[in-house]
Amino acid sequence: MKKTADTERLTLRQLTPEEWTMIVNNIIDNGEVLWQFGCEDGDAFREAASEMNSGEVIYRAIVLKSSCEIIGYAGVTPVSGNIEFYVLNAFRRQGYAYEGIRAFIEMCGLDRITAETMCDNEPSIRLLEKLGFRSNGFGFNFSTNQSLRMFEWQGS
């Protein structure tokens, strides 16, 4: 996998441990995506996140070129091809998620990528569909009682 990528407005690059901590704290402050890691509260998420940079998942920071500010992250589990992503609230609905995740998919160099999102997360569903992912079923996260929608992307 490539270490960096550039788009018109963004740079994707490796995350430092300090930057990862900043992103985790922002997620906790916003009360978001804790379900994805089977966590019910910020402390449990912080503990789970401390193990995330173990190498099992490859993460990249999504950085705004104009300010060098980290606006989110993308990650992929190379063995399964499953991706995850997050964009800070202040930077949503501006096309950054589409631009960044599209570049991240190219960086991965995989022929098949999967993703999952909560069934009621319409913005993520629309983003995945816009990126060319196709819905391929439903799942359930038993630790958080969340229904999930599963997606798959096939490279050319």
Does residue 155 form part of some domain? no
Domain count, the chain: 1
Average of per-residue pLDDT across 79-98: 92
Does residue 120 form part of some domain? no
Contact 41, 35 (CB under 8 A): no
Is 35's pLDDT higher than 70?
no
Does residue 101 form part of some domain? yes
Average of per-residue pLDDT across 69-92: 90
Does residue 127 form part of some domain? no
Instruction: Find which of 7-21, 27-41, 73-87, 124-138 is predicted with most confidence, using mean pLDDT.
Output: 124-138
User: Which residue has 């929608």 as its token pair?
Assistant: 149
Does residue 69 form part of some domain? yes
DSSP letter string, the chain = --S-EE-SSEEEEPPPHHHHHHHHHHHHHHT-SGGGGT-SSHHHHHHHHHTGGGTTSEEEEEEETTTTEEEEEEEEETTTTEEEEEE-GGGTTSSHHHHHHHHHHHHHT-SEEEEEEETT-HHHHHHHHHTT-EEEEEEEETTTTEEEEEEEEE--
Mean pLDDT in the chain? 85
Does residue 129 form part of some domain? no
* Residue 80's CATH number: 3.40.630.30
Task: Give me the pLDDT at residue 69, please.
Answer: 92
Least confident range of 4-8, 56-60, 126-130: 56-60
Does residue 137 form part of some domain? no
Torsions phi, psi for 70 (to 5 deg): -75, 125
Beta-strand relationship, 10-13 and 5-6 = antiparallel
Is 134's pLDDT higher than 80?
yes
Amino acid present at 111: D
Is residue 27 packed enough to be buried (19+ CB in 10 Å), middle (13-18) or exposed (0-12)?
A: buried
Domain of 68, in residue numbers: 5-110
Hey, CA dihedral for 90, 131, 2, 25, is it positive or negative?
positive
Confidence band of 110 (pLDDT split at 50, 70, 90)? very high
pTM: 0.85
Task: Give me the pLDDT at residue 50, please.
Answer: 63
Is 143's pLDDT higher than 80?
no
